[in-house]
Chain A
Amino acid sequence: MTLQAAQGGAVSAAPPSRIPDRRRVLTMRRRTWIASALFLLPAVAYIVLFFGAPIVKNLTMGFQDYTTATFYNGEAPWVGFQNYVDMFESPVFSIALSNTFVFTIASIAGQFVIGLAFAVFFRRRFPLAGPIRALMLLPWLLPLIVTGAIWKWLLDKDSGAINRILEALHLTSTGIPWLDSPSLALLSVILVNIWIGIPFNLTIFYSGLQSIPDELYEAASLDGATGWKAFRHITWPMLRPVTNVVLVLGVVYTLKVLDIILGLTNGGPANATQTLATLSYNLSFTQFEFGQGAAVSNVLILISLLFAAVYLRLSRRSEAAE
């Protein structure tokens, strides 16, 4: 006997059988609740175990004088906001802050646009599209140590391949100091980061594009809307949830980028590529000021959080407005 039949039977019967009916509905809702809770349980457990303690620890470290000795004896004198005060007073901090913004915004813009363009391009069906698209993931796949080393050689002012190509094409007469000049170093690091990030965006956008039914495009083309128009009116709106994910995740990941900058320039020359992430690392692991390093990384987390919260709120609002 199905639930439906039971419910149907109950409704048409006399009042006394409504009580079992409500109980049945409640039981079903409770069961849904239990099921949902169980579905969530492994994830909640995992997140609490693997992230809960670290984030609490990082928060408290920002208020402590945490040194190499602390690792051993656990003693970390409370210093209140001193770490944060020191951080804000340090001239490197404001440089790192502005570099972080420039680095993040430029990287995201580049990866996003190029990744999306490639995804749209690869949506067409042509021979070798699949394998080529798979190979395009390689930049993201290589170990960052290797990527850093290779780009460091390619961008070398005197003997790097990039400059040699540019000189051969007569686009420049002397080597461009990609990584040596404070004015160019940040740009170079951004370009390398874009290179690394394109595959990530490409893959997610591609997957999202696959979910847009062909019929929509066919119908639109019958109305004469193709190419850019089709993109603006079909692709872009339908990609909205994917776009949100890519942007928010992209910003969160880019704010954390560390290894590639260390590999290319170590935050130099003269702090030209010092970001909050590299500053935090340097404070902690080369100067052994772990409290200060934690303070900087807490600021980074806060920036991430603010961005995510604001962005998601805005996009929710605009979605509701549609």
Chain B
Amino acid sequence: MKPRTTRVAWIAAASAAAVLGLSACSDGTGGGTASGDATTLVVQDYYGDEPQKTVIGDLLDGCAADMGVTIQRNVVAAPSLVQKTLQQASAHDLPDVLMVNNPDVQQFAQAGYLRPLEDFDIDTSGYPDGILKAGSYDGTLYGLAPGVNTLALFYNEDLLKAAGVTPPTTWDELKAASAALSGDGKYGVAFSAVATYEGSWQFMPFLWSNGGTESDIDTPEAIGALQLWTDLVQSGSASQSVVNWSQADVADQFKAGKAAMMVNGPWQIPGLEATDGLNYGIVQIPVPAAGDTLIDPLGGEMWTVPNTGDDAKEKKAAELVACLNSDKSQLQNALAQNYVPARSSLGTQVVAQVPQMQTFVDLVANARGLTAELGPDYPGSATRIYTAIQSALTGSLPPAEAAAQAQAMK
């Protein structure tokens, strides 16, 4: 009967139209790269915090103005940058300039996402070997870091003075000082032993300075370092909660006066300066025995040029990376983020303005990249390290067994 057929047909048409309309209803900015326009570069980074966000933004704008390009900046939250990059890689939609946290550079290079920086004209003179190595895969340079950071021991001057304690320089002194500073709801020392790469990162200075290596933690040297941390927690000098604290949490504890000393990095300095009534000092992390050398891990982010298939853009992108690594940019970046400029010659200029950075400048000279030994296999060892730390510090296993079991993990 006619009315019904028409009605059915109408429903069919409407549904089809709806489905088609929804999928066709796309407007404006699709994808990440503006195609065919060599004067707009897409830059992706994770500097969402202030003051980094503004500082890096200014640096980018400055370089862009010099180069005559416009920047389309995409700031991604730090924990999601890797995920985002992976998705973009699968869609062949990578940004023109990508900031990569240094442990991830090897992974991305091995996977073919990045262009070797040697293909372009970038000045890498004046960089310590450690930094160049951290950005290289298989001997080829892929990422260049304008600034780096590392770890040191921050201490609360007032609390130490009140307890009659001087900043420790060896492990034994660390244990004694922490014990003396603990009690009454406060802890002598705080560090991050969380079940993520942050925990592994914080463990490195202790592991390496004791002669241990991240490729095999079932060794006396590694177990010795693990024992130190375990002793600190079990004696009450460090809170049990370290197994759950990120470096940001550790800093919060220090700022609140709940921890007299903390292991942390220079990026915390602005926050410490802003805390009323906090008098703090910085020394290098204690070494196992007097006279040992401290081997600190290198942190920091690198700028890379992803493979976008657009030669003209990649050239411009490389120019931007070079600009971001110029002396002027390095200095601006370092001062704003409290990083150590990558070029050793610039260190003194930073210290002139921010004296607290002296310790860090000295430490960076001997620092080692996290991926220096294992390259793209670093994630596996980092996981084993934090697994061992967690087992030992929670008392689930004694350090020797914790290390052995963790090392046996695939």
Residue of B nearest to A286 (CB): B379
Number of A-B contacts (CB under 8 A): 113
Interface string of B172-199 (1 = CB under 8 A from A): 0000000000000101000000111100
Residue of A nearest to B4 (CB): A31
Given contacts A157-B239, A158-B185, A265-B244, contact A287 B11 (CB under 8 A): no
Given contacts A34-B8, A72-B90, contact A181 B394 (CB under 8 A): yes
Main secondary structure of the interface of B (DSSP, over half): helix
Chain A residues, CB < 8 A from B379: 286-288
Chain A residues, CB < 8 A from B113: 68, 72
Determine if A285 and B82 form an interchain contact, defined as CB atoms under 8 angstroms apart. Answer: yes
Interface string of B383-409 (1 = CB under 8 A from A): 100010011011010000000010001
Q: Say which one of B103-111, B156-164, B202-210, B268-276 lies at the interface with A.
A: B103-111
Interface residue? A42 (CB, 8 A): yes
Determine if B390 and A157 form an interchain contact, defined as CB atoms under 8 angstroms apart. Answer: no
Determine if B12 and A180 form an interchain contact, defined as CB atoms under 8 angstroms apart. Answer: no
Distance (whole angstroms) from the CB of B2 to the closest CB of chain A:
13
Interface residue? B41 (CB, 8 A): no
- A contact residues, total (Cβ < 8 Å): 42
Q: How far does the alpha carbon of A310 sit from the alpha carbon of B322 in the complex, in Å?
A: 62
Partner of B394, one of A31, A42, A269, A287: A269
Interface residue? B75 (CB, 8 A): no
Interface residue? A139 (CB, 8 A): no
Distance (whole angstroms) from the CB of B236 to the closest CB of chain A:
11
Partner of A38, one of B11, B256, B410: B11
Q: How far does the alpha carbon of A223 sit from the alpha carbon of B146 in the complex, in Å?
A: 82
Residue of A nearest to B16 (CB): A41
Interface residue? A179 (CB, 8 A): yes
Q: How far does the alpha carbon of A322 sit from the alpha carbon of B272 in the complex, in Å?
A: 69
Chain B residues, CB < 8 A from A152: 244
Taking CB atoms and an 8 Å cut-off, the chain B residues in 29-60 that contact chain A are none
Taking CB atoms and an 8 Å cut-off, the chain A residues in 36-82 that contact chain B are 38, 41-42, 45, 67-73
Determine if B195 and A267 form an interchain contact, defined as CB atoms under 8 angstroms apart. Answer: yes
Determine if A177 and B15 form an interchain contact, defined as CB atoms under 8 angstroms apart. Answer: no
Chain A residues, CB < 8 A from B380: 287
Determine if B241 and A158 form an interchain contact, defined as CB atoms under 8 angstroms apart. Answer: yes
Chain B residues, CB < 8 A from A272: 394
Chain B residues, CB < 8 A from A156: 241
Q: How far does the alpha carbon of A25 sit from the alpha carbon of B83 in the complex, in Å?
A: 57
Interface string of A248-273 (1 = CB under 8 A from B): 00000000000000000111111110
Distance (whole angstroms) from the CB of B224 to the closest CB of chain A:
20
Q: How far does the alpha carbon of A42 sit from the alpha carbon of B14 in the complex, in Å?
A: 11
Chain B residues, CB < 8 A from A70: 111
Determine if B15 and A180 form an interchain contact, defined as CB atoms under 8 angstroms apart. Answer: no
Determine if A270 and B240 form an interchain contact, defined as CB atoms under 8 angstroms apart. Answer: no
Interface residue? B78 (CB, 8 A): no
- Most chain A CB inside 10 Å of its own CB: which residue of B86, B187, B241, B383: B241
Determine if B194 and A266 form an interchain contact, defined as CB atoms under 8 angstroms apart. Answer: yes
Taking CB atoms and an 8 Å cut-off, the chain B residues in 77-132 that contact chain A are 82-83, 86-87, 89-90, 92, 107-108, 110-113
Chain B residues, CB < 8 A from A91: 405, 409
Q: What would 16 A/B residue contacts be, using CB atoms closer than 8 Å?
A: A31-B4, A41-B19, A42-B15, A69-B110, A69-B111, A73-B112, A177-B241, A180-B240, A180-B244, A268-B244, A269-B243, A270-B195, A282-B383, A285-B82, A286-B383, A287-B380
17 additional contacts, CB 8 Å, given A268-B194, A268-B390?
A: A31-B4, A35-B11, A68-B111, A71-B86, A71-B90, A90-B409, A152-B244, A179-B241, A180-B240, A266-B244, A267-B195, A269-B244, A269-B393, A285-B82, A285-B83, A287-B383, A288-B379
Closest 8 CB pairs of A and B: A268-B195, A69-B111, A68-B111, A270-B390, A71-B89, A71-B90, A269-B243, A266-B195
